Structure 1
Amino acid sequence: MKIKGIKDVFFDLDHTLWDFDKNSALTFNKIFKMHDVAVDLNEFLSHYEPINLDYWKLYREEKIDKASLRYNRLNDTFNKISFRADSTLIDKLSIDYIAYLTSFNHLFDDTLEVLNYLKPKYNLHIITNGFQEVQESKLKNSNIHHFFKSVTDSEQVGVKKPNPKIFNHALKKVNANPKTSIMIGDNLEADIFGALGIGMEAIYFNYLKDPTQQQVNQINNLNELKLFL
C-alpha cells in the first residue's frame, strides 16, 4: 500500500489540515454577536456551508470574483432563512468574517502528529485556492507554517486548482518532479483530478466519508496517511 519514490508532498489547506467548518462556525458566532444578528447559528450554517461550496466552485471556474463570492454567499444564506439583511450589514459581516476567521485555528485530528511524521521523510508544501493574506495567517496562527518549504496560492499564480498551471507553478518553484510528488486534499475535482492530470500521485481526504465511485487512493482521517507514505 506504500507509494514508492515520493519526495515532495503537497497538501491542500482548508478542509484538509485546517478545520474550516469548525473555525468558520466560531467566527460567525462571534461576528453575529458583534452586530446583533439574531439568527439561529445552526440553521444559518446548515444553509451557508453548501452555498459557500457552490460559490467556491464558481470561483474556481473563474465565473465570479472574490468580492462576489464573499457577498453573495452571505446574501443567499440570509434569504434562505428569511432574515432581512441590507447590503451595509452584509458588507460589514463579510469584512469582519475575514478579519476574525484566523483568530480561530482548530486543525483536523492528527494534523500535528502526521506532519511531524512526514517532515523528516519528505519535502512538504501547500497548494491552496484560498486568498493569499488569509491563508498565510491560518498557517502562522495555527503554528504549522514551519512544516512547509513552500506555499502556493491561486492569487499568486492567477489560476485555481484544478488548472494545471497552479500545479506546475508549485512544482517548478521547488524544482519538484510530478512523478515523485503527491497531492493530498479533500476536493476530488480540484485536488485529486487536478494533480492526477499532470502526472502526480494523489490521495483523497474523504473526511465526510462521502460515497464515491472514483478509483482513487483515499483516507478518512489523516493518520491513515502513514499507510501510504
Structure 2
Amino acid sequence: MANIKYLFFDCMETIVDLYDLPQENDYALWAFKDSGVEHFWKGFSDFLNSHEKVKNEISYTLEPHQEYDLIRRFELLVQKNKAISIEKQIEVVNKLHANYWKTYQSKCFVKSEVRNVLKELSKKYELAVVSNFKVNGGIEQLLQNNELGNVFKFVVTSINVGWRKPHRRIYEHATNLAGCSSSEILFIGDDYENDYKTPQRMGYKTIYLDKNGAKRSGIESVSNFYELQAVLKE
C-alpha cells in the first residue's frame, strides 16, 4: 500500500489469542477461584452476584465508551462486603486483581505466524497497538510475555486514554503519537466496527481481520497474518 507509514493493530484476538474464549461469568471466576479470599463470600454465586451489581453500578456513572481500571471494580466489590474489615480491604482487592491477571495471562498466546509476520513488517513500517483493555500495563505485559515487546513503537490502551474504541479520542491520541496524518495509517483488527468502520470514517486505511475467511463484498479483509503480509507487499 502506497504512502503508509504506520500500521495500527488491535491486540486481543488480533495479535494475542486466548486458548478458550471466555464466557461472561469467567471474568469473575478468574478473580475468585484460588484467590485465597474466597471465604469472604458464601460461594462463587454470591461473589458473581456482587460482581455483576458493582459492574453495573460503575457503568451507570460513566459516559458511553468511557473506560475505567478493572481494579476499581474489585475495590467497590470489597468495600460493599461487610465481612471484610477496613484493614483487610486492600489485601483482598490486591489478591482478587492479582489472581485475575495471573489467570488471564495463562490463557493467552501468540501464534508463531503472527509473531514472525509482525517482526518482518516492523522492518518496513512503524507498528503500534491501539486496544481496549481494563488492566493498566496489561497489553504491554502480554506483548512482552510473547517476545513482541520491542516490535511496537508505542501502545495505546483505553485504560490510559480513558475512552474505549469506538470513541474517537483513542484514535486521535494514537494518531498524535504517530506524528502523521490518518491517511498514512493502516488499521488492522478483528472487530468490524472498532477496527474497520470507525477508523475508516476517521480517514485511516483499514483491513478487517476476518478469521472465518468469509470474503464480504466491498470489505477489504484477510483471514490471517500471512495474507496481510502478502497484501502489504503489493
- TM-score per shorter chain, which class? 0.5 to 0.7
1:15 match: secondary structure: coil
Match of 1:178 among 182, 193, 208: 182
Instruction: For residues 33-86 of structure 1, give each alpha carbon's deviation from its aligned partner in whole angstroms, at most 9, with x where no partner exists.
Output: 778x9xxxxxxxxxxxxxxxxx9xx89943885559978xxxxxxxxxxxxxxx
1:20, distance to aligned residue in structure 2 (A):
2.8
**Paired position in structure 2 for 1:195:** 199
Does the alignment pair 1:130 with 2:133? yes
AA of the residue aligned to 2:14: T
Question: Are the equivalent residues in 2 in contact too, given 1:205–1:221 (CA < 8 A)?
Answer: yes
Counterpart secondary structure, 1:102: helix
| Displacement after TM superposition at 1:120 (Å) | 1.0
User: Using the alignment, how far apart are the partners of 1:103 and 1:210 within structure 2?
Assistant: 28
Q: How high is the TM-score relative to the length of structure 2?
A: 0.66
Structure 2 distance, partners of 1:153, 1:94, is 18
In the alignment, structure 1 segments of 5+ residues that lack a partner are: 38-54, 72-87
C-alpha distance in structure 1 between counterparts of 2:63 and 2:152, whole Å: 24
Aligned pair partner of 2:103 in 90, 96, 100: 100
Q: Kindly state the Cα deviation for residue 98 of structure 1 after the two structures are TM-superposed.
A: 1.8
In 1, distance between residues paired with 2:225 and 2:170?
24
8 Å contact kept, 1:171–1:177: yes
Matched, 1:204 2:183: no
What does 1:39-54 correspond to in 2, within 5 Å?
none
Q: Give the counterpart of 1:225 among 206, 225, 228.
A: 228
Q: Alignment partner of 2:180: what SS?
A: coil
1:164-175 map, 5 Å: 164-175=168-179
Q: How far 1:226 moved relative to its partner?
A: 1.7
Asked if the contact 2:17–2:109 (Cα under 8 Å) also holds between the matched residues in 1, the reply is yes
1:158 to 156, 162, 171: 162
Question: Once the two structures are superposed, what CA deviation does each residue of 1:177-219 show, in whole Å capped at 9, x if it has no partner?
Answer: 2111101100011111121011001111111x17575622111
Cα RMSD (Å) of the superposition?
Answer: 3.8
Relative to 1, partners in 2 of residues 1:143 and 1:64: Cα closer, same or farther, differing over 3 Å? closer
Report how many aligned residue pairs link the two structures. Answer: 192
TM-score by length of 1: 0.68
Report the Cα offset of residue 122 of structure 1.
0.3
Amino acid at match of 1:7: K
User: Unmatched 5+ residue regions in structure 2?
Assistant: 39-55, 75-83, 85-92
Distance in 2 of aligned mates of 1:68 and 1:193: 31
Alpha-carbon deviations, 1:154-192, whole Å to 9, x = none?
A: 122121111222111101112022111101100011111
